[in-house]
A and B are shown apart, each in its own frame.
Chain A
Amino acid sequence: SQQGEEDPQALSIQEGENATMNCSYKTSINNLQWYRQNSGRGLVHLILIRSNEREKHSGRLRVTLDTSKKSSSLLITASRAADTASYFCATAQATGANNLFFGTGTRLTVIP
């Protein structure tokens, strides 16, 4: 399987704390994307980082990418109860069709 792995599988934090989730993948990539899924809903794109980038910010989100270790991390700062959701990384491979391969997800619960 070309699926990535995410760590941890589940994370529970207090409102205001930072949440960090990690993603590892297996092949060379063009870019890595993070998506969010609220319970019972479809996925929504959050942020994209290209293979030649090391860090990217968007609002309270910070993404890092280490292509030598084939890993990425997503940091959500000053978390809110509304951030409760599942978060998935997805990689677009460097060769072949521009399809996405999704990780197994991290379930984040932010306690008010």
Chain B
Amino acid sequence: NAGVTQTPKFQVLKTGQSMTLQCAQDMNHNSMYWYRQDPGMGLRLIYYSASEGTTDKGEVPNGYNVSRLNKREFSLRLESAAPSQTSVYFCASRGWAEETQYFGPGTRLLVL
């Protein structure tokens, strides 16, 4: 099993450009999450999807949209990137009745 995969690994954007970060898991997990990690801030939850067909805002949702395409895939979209969105983005998943989360390798995003 590949676990949780993320693409791309690294991306540079100019202010105002848009992009979609992709995440997929092959563990048949119900719940999926998008976090951002900034220096000294730990991980902060952007959006989550408790199950296929549902999405909810986390702690820092402004400037982002998400799509739970199917049970495997959960994408994060930046419609108009801003320098404040420069960060490392992590996707995670969790199985039903499980309590731990499984993380992808991350996407490093630089917005100029």
Contact = CB atoms under 8 A, between A and B. Distances in A.
A46 to B, nearest CB: 9
A45 B48 CA distance: 19
Nearest to B50: A97
Which of A42, A45, A101, A105 has its CB near the most chain B CB atoms (within 10 A)?
Answer: A42
Contacts of A104: 40-42
Interface in B1-53: 4, 31, 33, 35, 40-45, 48, 50
Contact of A99 (B58, B100, B103, B105): B58
The interface residues of chain B, by DSSP majority, are classed as: strand
Given A1-B59, A3-B44, A97-B50, A41 B99 contact: no
Interface string A27-66: 0001101010000111111001000000000000000000
B64 interface: no
Contacts of A21: none
A33 B43 CA distance: 14
Interface string A84-112: 00001010100001111111110000000
A42 B44 contact: no
Contacts of B41: 3, 104
Nearest to A88: B42
Contacts, number: 59
Interface residues of A, number: 28
A42 B103 contact: yes
A42 B105 contact: yes
B42 A31 contact: no
Contacts of A12: none
A2 B58 CA distance: 11
B42 A42 contact: no
A28 B44 CA distance: 19
Given A33-B100, A103-B42, A104-B40, A42 B50 contact: no
Given A41-B105, A43-B101, A99-B58, 9 more contacts: A2-B59, A9-B40, A30-B99, A40-B106, A42-B90, A42-B106, A45-B102, A48-B100, A102-B43
Ranked nearest first, the 6 interchain pairs of A and B with the lowest CB-CB distance are: A42-B103, A102-B43, A102-B42, A45-B100, A104-B42, A43-B103
